Structure 1
Amino acid sequence: MYPTTRRMLGGITAATVAALTLVACNADDKDKKETPKAADTPAASAPVAPVPSGGPAASGPARTQTPKSAKPPAGGGTAEPGEDCGPPPTPKPGHKIVYPVKQPTKGSLYYKNTKFVCDPNDGHYEAVGAEQAPLLFAPKATGTLAGPPPRKAEYIGQVWDHIDKCLTHQDDGANTCSSFGAYDLILNAANEITDIKEIWHS
């Protein structure tokens, strides 16, 4: 009977050890399934590099470019941003830029002074202020019409007629009226007009 009891206890002990081993293995498998691999996590696959000390974060606020300002219009006129006519032209000695206000009569030119105004087509002259005392034409005065192309007037009265037609919006054939109607005068020592030239502007 003693050998039988020993065999029974030996069988129970072996079965108990086998059962405990199986439980432990199942527990290990469960832990492995529930715990994700370190390689599967974003933090492990893409480590964050430290910001260098000389980078934007350490250099203060980002600098912004100052926009280029439009150049102020020449001659005191108005202009769109970005237009650039450069400085207003300076009349040559003995020249005067004027704006006729009516047809010349009896050898006199009735006019207003002008100012230079910047525009996309290199600028133009506009009438300013009140009508001035008329200027007289010198004997044998000459004239040039703007055209284009510019052409010498056959006689000074042709320029006078052209001024009248342009001021009253009449057609003057091949002698197209300049859009702003300014004229460049050459004056002699007696302040008389020796030459009058229409300034072309489309």
Structure 2
Amino acid sequence: MRSTRRVIGTFALVAALGSVAACGPDDSAGSGSTGGSSATGSSSGSGAAKPSAKPSAKPSANPSAKAPAGGGSTGSAEPGGDCGQPPKLPAGHKMVEPVAPPSKGSMSAKDAQPTCTPNDWIYHGKGEAKYYLFATGEVKAELATGPGSTKSVPVGELWMHAGDCMTNASAVKAPYSCSGNIYDITVDKEGKIDSIKEVWHP
């Protein structure tokens, strides 16, 4: 009985060692294969994560890149786009764009409305031209000399400047320039221009 038990015990031990020896390579192979598969899985998983991350990053980058362009285009068509709210003029002021060189004592001009552009709000004449007379007394006239700066001149000099800008811009000398042919005017009680200022724009 003891020899039978020893034999059975020996077989059991050998079987156990065999299974341990068998498990070792299998586990290592399994772990290798699992590691390989997990590495492949993780690489495929990370590969899956990376591609999914990259496309999601690209679309998020593209819309943000396109948004300003889209915003800009809509801003130029709709007031309050990229430029913000349209400018408000002081009470009694009006922007106009002459359609012909002013003659002594009169001017034909279109009402100018602000339009959003890549260079901020710019005024453009719209609609039918209106006929204006200048006041008989002293008319305050200013020509633009740069951004935010003007120089007071006799109104006749302003008429000549406006005419040169419309017909012969090369005749305009520094510190003056042709700034878009837009003028800020006010009128007296009779509707006659009593002040006129050139609006500077690059």
Q: TM-score interval w.r.t. the shorter chain? A: 0.5 to 0.7
Identity fraction in percent = 28
TM-score of the aligned structures, taking structure 1 as reference length: 0.64
Rg: which structure is higher?
A: 1
Q: Distance in 2 between matches of 1:82 and 1:105?
A: 38
Give 2:160's aligned amino acid: D
Contact 1:85 1:120 in 2 (8 A): no
Q: Distance in 2 between matches of 1:138 and 1:168?
A: 25
Q: Distance in 2 between matches of 1:121 and 1:146?
A: 18
| 1:88 Cα deviation from its structure 2 partner | 3.0
| 1:16 Cα deviation from its structure 2 partner | 6.8
TM-score of the aligned structures, taking structure 2 as reference length: 0.64
1:122-137 correspondence runs (5 A): 122-132=120-130, 134-137=131-134
Q: Distance in 1 between matches of 2:96 and 2:2?
A: 126
Give 1:28's aligned amino acid: A
* Equivalent residue number for residue 13 of structure 2: 25
* Equivalent residue number for residue 181 of structure 1: 181
Q: Distance in 1 between matches of 2:84 and 2:5?
A: 103
Contact 2:139 2:194 in 1 (8 A): yes
Can you list the C-alpha shifts for 1:29-54, whole angstroms capped at 9, x where unaligned? 11222345xx98889xxxxxxxxxxx
Contact 1:144 1:150 in 2 (8 A): yes
Q: Distance in 2 between matches of 1:81 and 1:98?
A: 21
Runs of 4+ in 1 over 3 A off after TM superposition: 13-24, 39-43, 67-73, 79-82, 119-122
Change (3 A) 1:118 1:91: farther
1:10-159 correspondence runs (5 A): 21-35=9-23, 73=75, 78=77, 83-93=82-92, 95-132=93-130, 134-139=131-136, 140-148=138-146, 149-153=149-153, 155-159=154-158
| 1:24 Cα deviation from its structure 2 partner | 3.4
Change (3 A) 1:143 1:80: closer
Q: Distance in 1 between matches of 2:168 and 2:77?
A: 26
Q: Which runs of 5+ in 2 are unaligned?
A: 35-63
Can you list the C-alpha shifts for 1:83-134, whole angstroms capped at 9, x where unaligned? 23324313422x22110111111311111111111234441211111222x1
Q: Distance in 2 between matches of 1:124 and 1:21?
A: 101
* Equivalent residue number for residue 192 of structure 1: 192
| 1:187 Cα deviation from its structure 2 partner | 0.6
Q: Distance in 1 between matches of 2:150 and 2:22?
A: 96
* Equivalent residue number for residue 46 of structure 2: none
3-state SS in 2 of match to 1:147: strand
Q: Count how many residue pairs are aligned between Structure 1 and Structure 2.
A: 159
Q: Which runs of 5+ in 1 are unaligned?
A: 1-12, 44-66
